[in-house]
Amino acid sequence: MDLPTDLLRTFIAVNDHGGFTRAAEVVHLTQSAVSMQIRRLEELVGRRLFARQGRSVALTPDGEKLSQYARQILRLQDEAMSALVQPEVEGTVRLGIPDDYVSFLPAVFAHFSRTHPKIRVEVICRQSSEIHELMEREELDLALVTANCGRPVTFGTIVRMEPVIWVASAHRAVEKESPLPLAMFTDPCYLHDEAIRMLEKMGRSCRIAYSSPSMAGLIAAVQSGLAVALVTRANLPDGARVLGPDDGFPVMPPVVLELHRRSGAAAEVLEQCFMEVLKENA
């Protein structure tokens, strides 16, 4: 039994975009054609791949299993086509990304450099709110940001739900101090503001003991035992302890990561690399 790549591509599009309507726009088919392709794929594998959740859909356990293989198959096909058939894309991509998410870049660039070695990437690290503004001013071609950031609704492509965790030094019980010393971003951050509100609601007084414009600075404060910090799971520091409800810390909602792209072939191929890597390693 063969799995046609056009069916796999539609299958991945439905998963990545949360439903048949958005997927139809991405693969340039009608919604009914997308539905037919998914039914055909389910018939081929003899398994149900999606379950409806209100107006959206989610992968079944069998769908999750197939998605891992489908992404590998499509990535290999794209690499083969890029190497043998497609003209090489050239140009420069101005990429905006918070330093919270720089840890994703090695895997993205490793894949990207194999398939598109002639594209130059300029990386601009700012907080998500600033990157949103740079995209609006058309000073960036591609951006990986935290969705919304306290702003009005945005229209990027959601690529990942990233857990947010409290961390402290493994060598000092700084979380037992009162008021609780916190390491926070220098610039306003809606997530940090919400974290302080939740701590105070639990009756925990806190103070800003250390501030930094970068995630690297917050991690340094944690590792040295100066303060407790809120970080994404991707930035869990070496030698740090994760704190939870048993330690008197609220469970934080995950942050939604989304990609924003302007037109351009170079930005489009880099966007696809991001989507593949972030979905594979979620």
Edge to edge, the sheet with strand 180-185 lists 206-212, 180-185, 228-232, 164-169, 240-243
Per residue in 95-127, pLDDT (tens digit) is 999 988 888 888 888 877 777 777 888 999 988
Cβ–Cβ under 8 Å, residues 214 and 183:
no
What percentage of residues in the chain have a pLDDT greater than 70?
Answer: 93
CATH superfamily for 91-156+256-280 is Periplasmic binding protein-like II (3.40.190.10)
Same fold, 5-84 and 164-253: no
149 pLDDT band, cuts 50/70/90, is low
Please state whether the predicted TM-score (pTM) of the whole model is above 0.75: no
Pick the CATH number of 5-84 from 3.20.10.10, 1.10.40.60, 1.10.10.10, 3.30.420.40: 1.10.10.10
> Using 50, 70 and 90 to split pLDDT, how confident is the model at 168?
very high
pLDDT tens-digit series, residues 250-282 = 999 888 888 888 877 788 888 888 887 887 665
**Token output for 156:** 């990027």
With contact defined as beta carbons under 8 Å apart, do 182 and 196 qualify? yes
Rg (CA), the chain: 21
What is the mean pLDDT of the segment spanning 126-145? 89
Kindly list the domain boundaries of the chain, sorted by start residue: 5-84, 91-156+256-280, 164-253
Superfamily (CATH H level) for 164-253: Periplasmic binding protein-like II (3.40.190.10)
